[in-house]
């Protein structure tokens, strides 16, 4: 029995692409040829069914308006498809920079933070002096902070977010985006401080006091302006006491009471100051 295959093909007629089907009959199709034909059929079907074909004959402004409406409706995949069409077919359009920025927003709202970061960076690479550059810079900052993982995992994205957000603060000082970037950078610092503090507590809880001391000292040295610093001094005090370093324990206690007298850690020692 011959095998019939209905194959969708693209047929160019003037300005419009139409989809037609032809029937192929053959007594036998080898497995490899069958797989190749299946791949071709799939690609042709996708082309016939939509994609860029949806925007055939539309100008970039009309496509951008559709993308904006889809974005506002939270149909981010549809918005991304339309914006990709603009950037692919009308890259020299004067509104392409707006499409690039909106594409970054769409990816961010979708939760695809790596793609969002990429699109914001592309905007900055091409339009570094544009008035919307602070928005793109904040977008990179926010994307990296969103990629920052749980405390138990590697904090590469957290550190990168701190660096990028601080750069945005410096490069676009005086803007609202600069203020927000500073807040995000501070949140990421607090996260790193908490990670170091928890690690110190982990070692302390297992009576590995020398290791605990290293982490507590790190928090005190690099995160002295955070809420974790007084607790790190408390941990340092208790660790040194456990080791038998009474003089170092006393130094940590005095520093805690002197520098953070109103802290909960100081109150836990049973006094509000060194003279009580």
Residue 239: its pLDDT value, please?
97
* 273 domain residue, yes or no: no
Tally of domains in the chain: 3
Residue 176 lies in a domain: no
Based on the fold, state whether residues 15 and 73 are members of the same structural domain: no
| 77 part of a folded domain | yes
Write a three-state SS string for the chain.
CCEEEEEEEEEEECCEEEEEEEEEEECCCCHHHHHHHHHHHHHHHHHHHCHHHHHCCCCHHHHHHHHHHHHHCCCHHHHHHHHHHHHHHCCCCCCHHHHHHHHHHHHHHHCCHHHHHHHHHHHHHHCCCCCCHHHHHHHHHHHHHHHCCCCCCCCHHHHHHHHHHHHHHHHCCCCHHHHHHHHHHHHHHHHHHHHHHHHHHHHHHCCCHHHHHHHHHHHHHHCCCCCHHHHHHHHHHHHHHHHCCHHHHHHHHHHHHHHCCCCHHHHHCCCCCCCC
Q: Does some domain include residue 188?
A: no
The answer on 30 and 88 residing in a single domain is: no
- 252 belongs to a structural domain: yes
pLDDT in the model for residue 57: 85
Residue 51, pLDDT score: 54
**The predicted structure's pLDDT at residue 147:** 97
Domain boundary among 49, 67, 82: 49
Same domain, 212 and 264: yes
pLDDT in tens, 97-133: 999 999 999 999 999 999 999 999 999 999 989 999 9
Domain of residue 238, residue span: 207-268
Q: What is the pLDDT of residues 157-166, one digit of tens each?
A: 999 999 999 9
Domain annotation covers residue 137: no
> What was the pLDDT predicted at 273?
43
Domain membership flag for residue 170: no
Is position 276 within any domain? no
**List of the chain residues with pLDDT < 50:** 1-49, 272-276
Q: Could you say which of 75, 100, 130 is where a domain stops?
A: 130
Residues 76 and 124 in one domain: yes
User: Global pTM?
Assistant: 0.74
Q: Which of 105, 130, 155 is the last residue of a domain?
A: 130
* Whether residue 118 is found in the same domain as residue 59: yes
């Amino acid at each position: 029995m011959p095998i019939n295959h209905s194959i969708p093909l693209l047929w160019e007629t003037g300005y419009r692409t139409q989809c037609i089907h032809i029937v192929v009959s053959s007594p036998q199709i080898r497995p490899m040829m069958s797989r190749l034909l299946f791949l071709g059929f799939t690609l042709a079907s996708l082309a016939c069914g939509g994609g860029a074909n949806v925007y055939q004959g539309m100008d970039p402004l009309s496509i951008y308006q559709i993308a904006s409406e889809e974005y506002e409706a939270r149909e981010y995949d549809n918005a991304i498809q339309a914006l990709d069409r603009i950037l692919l077919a009308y890259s020299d359009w004067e509104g392409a920079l707006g499409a690039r920025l909106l594409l970054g927003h769409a990816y961010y709202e979708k939760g695809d933070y790596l793609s969002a970061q990429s699109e914001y960076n592309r905007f900055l690479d091409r339009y570094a002096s544009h008035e919307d550059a602070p928005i793109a810079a904040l977008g990179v900052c926010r994307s990296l902070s969103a990629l920052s993982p749980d405390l138990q995992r590697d904090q590469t994205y957290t550190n990168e977010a701190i660096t990028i957000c601080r750069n945005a603060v410096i490069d676009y000082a005086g803007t609202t985006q600069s203020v927000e970037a500073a807040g995000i950078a501070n949140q990421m610092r607090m996260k790193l401080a908490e990670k170091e503090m928890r690690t110190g507590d982990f070692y302390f809880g297992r009576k590995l006091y020398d290791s605990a001391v290293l982490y507590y000292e790190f928090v005190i040295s690099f995160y002295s302006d955070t809420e974790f610093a007084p607790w790190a001094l408390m941990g340092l005090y208790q660790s040194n006491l456990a080791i038998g370093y009474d003089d170092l324990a006393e130094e940590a206690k005095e520093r805690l009471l002197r520098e953070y007298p109103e802290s909960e850690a100081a109150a836990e020692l049973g006094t509000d100051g060194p003279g009580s």
